[in-house]
């Protein structure tokens, strides 16, 4: 059986088993390079890969009546509780320096109803396919254990934007699975090895355009510094890296029907541990936990309590 057929079957199985939850580009760029194989790509004949990542974000919710008062005051507030993302990625290495991948997301957002008097305080769920991204990474410079690459991509408006709550009202744009917009990603990735220690730095800027409900999310700037330490690099099985991730994200203010949303945008600094285990030469699993060490958000805004991820990657 050819590698392409095996890849197609594996990807199909992953996609068909994603029944609940996919996608924020803010976690796509920081992950670039994190799950890289221990062995170098130059010596590998495995051109295809598939990846699955589960991500969960937990929010500091507000009591429904207090949040309802904010709505009466004209504040742009959402009482989210938990957001769950499942990311399914498929990619190809045309050469040792090129990586191209597509990411298909599915999103589930849980919240508390704070607008309608009839359903005030009730639990609400918005879920569906998110926006598909196509990203390319080209390593244009390499010297010894250091390398530098450029990243470019586009996010397509493939996600659901018409989800409704339990009383039939359409969820606001921020609570929809998809954005309804074409967005453009540009950035760079730097890698440096120091024996067992690996350093990964990346930076990205996402240009947003108007989407569903005449709403435009703010442009996003993201930069990460990831430090890894290989515990057992000579082992044949279960090679393990432990790491520490630092991620800074800054979002510009949003626009709703052409008007700037005061309660939007801001800066968040996340810090936390990560682990990568290469079970064999073809399969690796990984996980991370992040907590905000600084949140300087625009206007009246919910704060993130913590976020965690877990996933796996297969090479063909």
Q: Is residue 45 pLDDT above 80, yes or no?
A: no
> Over the range 284-314, which residues count as b (16 or more CB within 10 Å of their CB) and which as e?
bbbbbbbebeeeebbeebbebeebebebbbb
User: CB-based burial of residue 253 (10 Å sphere; 0-12 exposed, 13-18 middle, 19+ buried)?
Assistant: middle
The helix (H) or strand (E) run that includes residue 85 is: strand 80-92
**Mean pLDDT to the nearest integer, 25-35:** 56
Residue in 180, 224, 184, 220 with CA at minimum distance from that of residue 202: 224
At residue 4, does pLDDT exceed 60?
A: no
Residue range 54-61: average pLDDT?
Answer: 93
* 59: Cα separation from own chain's centroid: 16
With bands split at pLDDT 50, 70 and 90, how would you rate the model's confidence at 17? very low
- Confidence tier at 36 by pLDDT (50, 70, 90): low
pLDDT over 90 percentage in the chain: 69
Q: Taking the alpha carbons of 114, 116, 121, 122 in that order, is the dihedral positive or negative? A: negative
| pLDDT value at 304 more than 50 | yes
CATH topology of domain 3-315: Lipocalin (2.40.128)
* pLDDT per residue as tens digits for the range 200-231: 999 999 999 999 999 999 999 999 999 999 99
Q: What pLDDT band is residue 107 in, cutting at 50, 70 and 90?
A: very high
The residue extents of the domains of the chain are 3-315
Report pTM. 0.87
Q: What is the pLDDT of residues 225-272, one digit of tens each?
A: 999 999 998 888 899 999 999 999 999 999 999 999 999 999 999 999
* 115-158: pLDDT as tens digits: 888 899 999 999 999 999 999 999 999 999 899 999 999 999 99
């Amino acid at each position: 059986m050819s590698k392409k057929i095996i890849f197609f079957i594996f990807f199909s199985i992953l996609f068909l088993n994603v029944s609940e939850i996919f996608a924020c580009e803010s976690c796509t760029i920081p992950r670039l390079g994190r799950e890289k194989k221990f062995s170098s790509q130059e010596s590998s004949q495995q051109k295809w890969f598939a990846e699955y990542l589960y991500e969960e974000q937990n929010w500091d919710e507000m009591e429904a009546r207090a949040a309802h008062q904010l709505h009466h005051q004209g504040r742009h507030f959402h009482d989210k509780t938990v957001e769950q993302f499942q990311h399914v990625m498929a990619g190809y290495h045309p050469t040792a320096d090129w990586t191209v991948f597509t990411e298909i997301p599915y999103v589930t957002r849980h919240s508390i109803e704070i607008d309608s008097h009839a359903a005030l305080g009730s639990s609400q769920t918005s879920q569906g396919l998110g926006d598909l991204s196509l990203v390319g990474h080209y390593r244009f410079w390499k010297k010894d254990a250091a390398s530098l690459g450029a990243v470019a991509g586009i996010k397509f408006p493939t996600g659901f934007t018409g989800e409704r709550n339990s009383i039939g009202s359409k969820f606001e744009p921020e609570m929809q699975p998809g954005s309804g917009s074409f967005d453009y990603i540009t950035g760079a990735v730097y890698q440096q090895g120091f024996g067992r220690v690996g350093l990964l730095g990346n930076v990205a800027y996402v240009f947003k355009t108007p989407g569903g409900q005449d709403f435009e999310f703010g442009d996003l700037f993201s930069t990460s510094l990831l430090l890894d330490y290989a515990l057992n690099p000579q082992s044949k099985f279960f090679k393990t890296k432990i790491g520490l991730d630092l991620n800074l994200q800054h979002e510009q203010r949003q626009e709703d029907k052409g008007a700037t949303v005061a309660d939007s945008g801001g800066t968040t600094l996340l810090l936390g541990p990560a682990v990568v285990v290469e079970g064999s030469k073809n399969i690796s699993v990984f996980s991370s936990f992040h907590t905000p060490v600084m949140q300087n958000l625009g206007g009246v805004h919910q704060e993130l309590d913590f976020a965690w991820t877990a996933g796996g990657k297969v090479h063909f």
